[in-house]
Structure 1
Amino acid sequence: MTDKLKEKEEFRYAPIGVFDSGVGGLTVAREIMRQIPKERIIYFGDTARVPYGSKSKETIIRFSRQIIRFLQSKGVKAIVIACNTASALALETVQPEFDIPILGVVKAGAKEAAKVTKNGKIGVIATESTIESQLYTKEIHSHKPNAQVLGKPCPLFVPLVEEGWLKDPVTVEVANRYLEPLLESGIDTLIMGCTHYPLLRSTLRQIMGEKVNLVNPAYETARELKSLLERNGLNNDGKQNYEGAMHEFYVSDAANKFKNFANSILPYGVDTTQLIHIEDY
């Protein structure tokens, strides 16, 4: 085996980097664990600077570069930007700057929504920055040019999720107010365009009813990641199966709060969450 081939063979056992502004990206990590359980994950939640949704493009790009450099220092073989805001505002800029595959969450979700809609009316709930970027509209139209895309910023959802108020009456009331115009418009498909939002799925389903498709970009992104790893010979072939024991979690603030939340939604227990100073990267 040549040195280059040996290096690639060893690289397939390297971990996957996943990052988000906070706990929302755990929905993506959870899907990766379910769909490709032999892979290790190194997760970073930028809990000191959450939410990202109201910040400028320049700031999101700077944050993303710092986090990608941190994940690269951990030897990851691929990175998933498990944050719709960072995917919409930073992915296009940072992808060519680094020499490993970097995936976002917008394209996979948009493609699935275009596929499942019957009446061509698609709603997108997301942060203010993601809606303003128009990226979901652009990506949906690349698959379904005549689709009617209705975006609705939901800025209160992220702080409610970060507080763990997933089924609180306040959250239900806020969701009702946000979703009412989308319901009245007659959409048949709703993209949960922020990785925090699938944690509100039961509330969203209760309000939207059974006839509206709820698209979870986390699920589609994990599927896209699996395909990318297989195409490039980077998938863990099972000779080293970590079964959750080697996942690592890092945050920029509130480590215990993050760990407790992660333990409530992930299939594997999180023993430790390490605090780092992300501005050093």
Structure 2
Amino acid sequence: MEAPIGVIDSGVGGLTVVKELLNRLPNEPIVYIGDDARCPYGPRSTQEVRKFTMEMATALSETGIKMLVIACNTATAVALDEVREHFSFPVIGVIVPGARGAVKASKTGDIAVLGTVGTIKSHAYDDAIHALLPSATVHPLACPDFVPIVESGLYKSENASGIVKKGLAGLVVKDFDVAILGCTHYPLLQNHIQAHLPSDVQIISSAVETVSDVECILVSRNIERDDSRRVAPIFYTTGQTEQFLSIVEDWLAIDKPDVRHIIL
């Protein structure tokens, strides 16, 4: 099936999912919307996040997508069910796959969850983890300063390392063997996060497990693309195209990516 896979996010964070899609399913076309102009979603109200998520999903539905990935954890937490009810194509969130990856990786059942204020307040990860492992102990931590670092393009800077260290201070007295990056922006800070967590803590990004779900749905519904020729992804941003383009080039190693502005 030639139709693209749609991916939406509050900003550039969902590019971590796109990176895994390009690695695992290189012949599948991708169309992406990052709502950088209204990022971050974490501090916003549930009503706002639902509205913005539906606007992005609707915009991509009009391009004829065959599947939608809500790559934003906050949007997944509050809007996944509503989006699924509204559209006929399959819609995948990132929270259940992330929880599944963490439960598989944890030997002790003690799992830290790093996320936005909105994601942590929703208890969506707690619920998903306990549905898979009722005996698990979850240590949630809101990290509101992380997304702005990534959106600004400063995720490799020394300043970013200091902000991450400060943001993780609440976990110092906790005992856990796995930490979920409960926001798709956070993998761009993974080196900093790993440096400020105990060396034996395994970090889980939901992107790998999410793309496994995408692959299963493509096969089960027989909607894979048969053509083996690669199609360049298309990226839309509600914000500044120059900043978005530079992050796409850096994170995805795509030369001259197709980045366009969109008004929702």
User: TM-score when scaled to structure 2?
Assistant: 0.97
- Structure 1, unaligned runs of 5 or more: 1-11
Q: CA deviation at 1:260?
A: 1.1
- Structure 2, unaligned runs of 5 or more: none
Q: CA deviation at 1:270?
A: 4.0
In 1: Cα distance, 2:216 partner to 2:145 partner: 34
Q: CA deviation at 1:154?
A: 0.4
Q: CA deviation at 1:267?
A: 4.1
Q: CA deviation at 1:236?
A: 1.4
SS of the residue aligned with 1:43? Answer: strand
Q: CA deviation at 1:120?
A: 1.2
SS of the residue aligned with 2:107? Answer: coil
The one-letter code matched in structure 2 to 1:151 is: P
Is 1:200 the counterpart of 2:186? The answer is no
What does residue range 24-35 of structure 1 map to in structure 2 within 5 Å? 24-35=13-24
Specify the alignment match of 1:241 in structure 2: 228
Is 1:108 the counterpart of 2:97? The answer is yes
What does residue range 8-157 of structure 1 map to in structure 2 within 5 Å? 12-157=1-146
Query: Do 1:40 and 1:242's aligned partners in 2 also have CA atoms closer than 8 Å?
Result: no
Q: CA deviation at 1:180?
A: 2.8
Q: CA deviation at 1:269?
A: 2.7
SS of the residue aligned with 2:113? Answer: strand
Is 1:254 the counterpart of 2:240? The answer is yes
What does residue range 157-196 of structure 1 map to in structure 2 within 5 Å? 157-196=146-185
Number of residue pairs the alignment of both structures matches: 264
Query: Do 1:124 and 1:149's aligned partners in 2 also have CA atoms closer than 8 Å?
Result: yes
RMSD of aligned Cα (Å): 1.2
In 2: Cα distance, 1:183 partner to 1:229 partner: 41
Percent identity over the alignment is: 36
20-29 vs 168-177, which deviates more?
Answer: 168-177
The Cα offsets for residues 154-173 of structure 1, whole Å up to 9 and x where unpaired, read as 00100011111213232212
Q: CA deviation at 1:251?
A: 0.9
Query: Do 1:262 and 1:270's aligned partners in 2 also have CA atoms closer than 8 Å?
Result: no
The Cα offsets for residues 215-263 of structure 1, whole Å up to 9 and x where unpaired, read as 00011101111111111101113xx2342x4311111120111011101
Is 1:220 the counterpart of 2:209? The answer is yes
The Cα offsets for residues 9-41 of structure 1, whole Å up to 9 and x where unpaired, read as xxx111000010111100000100101111010
Specify the alignment match of 2:255 in structure 1: 269
Query: Do 1:252 and 1:277's aligned partners in 2 also have CA atoms closer than 8 Å?
Result: yes
Q: CA deviation at 1:174?
A: 1.9
